[in-house]
Structure 1
Amino acid sequence: MTRRQESRPTRLHRRLGNADLSAVGEMRAALRDFMRRRGRPQETEVAELLLSELVTNALIHTRNGAVVTVTSAQARLRVEVRDFLTGQEPTPYVPNADDGTHGRGLLLVQSLADSWGVTAQALGKVVWFELDAGIA
């Protein structure tokens, strides 16, 4: 491993405040910087879009903020958004015309991520997605 590779960050971790929707843009910028420093610009647009959807959902539908963790391995990027609301597992659904622009976030995640899921926690849940290197 070269010295340059050693200095590249492999993890981004942030705590977001309750209903702080400005955090969505801030997380997108932090992810963009993280991806640039990791040398994975080909994944940035899809990762930003999916991160935005998950963070927005967590901040709108829960009351205790969220924790975002992004992990980069050689061949995979994993983004996790943890909230602290127990008992509500998000599921994608096809919105009807009356839903406006709401309800499409998890459909985007399902369509664009290489894998995704929901992991229950003792308090809350983690909604995550993964992108394979060079494919997104």
Structure 2
Amino acid sequence: MNNEDEWEYSINLPHSPVAVGVARGALRLMLRAHGLGELLVTAELLASELVTNAHVHAPGPSCLRVKRSGKWLRLSVWDTSSEPPRPARRPCGADREEGRGMEIVEELADRWGHYSLGAPGRSGKLVWCELGEG
């Protein structure tokens, strides 16, 4: 693995529904610039769900971090809520429009998790997921 296999970007997002589209657009640019187009569709959906979850469940801004390390692509979103994400365990009707985000993350990511942050000036939580190449 050389240094070109490792990189990291962060984008601070306001508490706005527009932030989801901005995050997706930035992620597309990052992955294409680094020749990772094969991960684009899945990574974009995962990032959308993580940022949407932050917008819906946290009262403040969020931050999307995209990190490449070896064969792994990690997407993480920090937000101002301390409540952990929970995949909905309700029946999914075809017409249900909300509550599926973390189920999608659980299904598509190779691994995912979260942890609380308690540092001064950076409280809240971080939700992350990873995709492996190949």
Alignment of 1:20-59 (within 5 A): 20-59=16-55
Residue in structure 2 matching 1:108, options 89, 104, 111: 104
CA contact (8 A) 1:68 1:80 kept: yes
Residue type at the aligned position of 2:25: A
Query: Between Structure 1 and Structure 2, which shows a larger proportion of strand residues?
Result: 2
Off by >6 Å, runs of 4+ in structure 1: none
Q: Which runs of 5+ in 1 are unaligned?
A: none
Relative to the length of structure 1, the TM-score reads: 0.86
CA deviation vs aligned residue, 1:23-59 (integer Å, no higher than 9, x gap): 1111101101100111111111000001001101101
Query: What amino acid maps onto 2:43 in structure 1?
Result: A
Unaligned runs of at least 5 residues, structure 2: none
* Matched-pair contact (CA < 8 Å) for 1:82–1:127: yes
Deviation of 1:84 (Å): 1.2
Compute the RMSD of aligned alpha carbons: 2.1
Give the aligned residue type for 2:70: Q
Q: How many residues align?
A: 129
Report the Cα offset of residue 95 of structure 1. Answer: 3.2
Q: Hey, what's the Cα distance between the residues in 2 that align with 1:85 and 1:130?
A: 21
Structure 1 stretch 47-56 or stretch 88-97: which is displaced more?
A: 88-97
Structure 2 length-normalised TM: 0.87
Q: Which residue of 1 aligns with 2:12?
A: 15
Structure 1 residue 9, shift from structure 2 partner: 7.7
User: Is the contact made by 2:6 and 2:69 (CA closer than 8 Å) also made in structure 1?
Assistant: no
% same residue? 37
1:24 maps to a residue whose letter is V
Q: Which amino acid aligns with 1:69?
A: R
Distance, in Å, in 2 between the alignment partners of 1:36 and 1:104 is 28
Alignment partner of 2:84 out of 64, 89, 95: 89
Query: Which whole-Å deviations, capped at 9, do the CAs of 1:80-107 have from their partners, x for residues lacking one?
Result: 0001112x11111233339821010101
Q: Does 1:77 align with 2:80?
A: no
- Give distance in 2, aligned partners of 1:80 and 1:93: 20
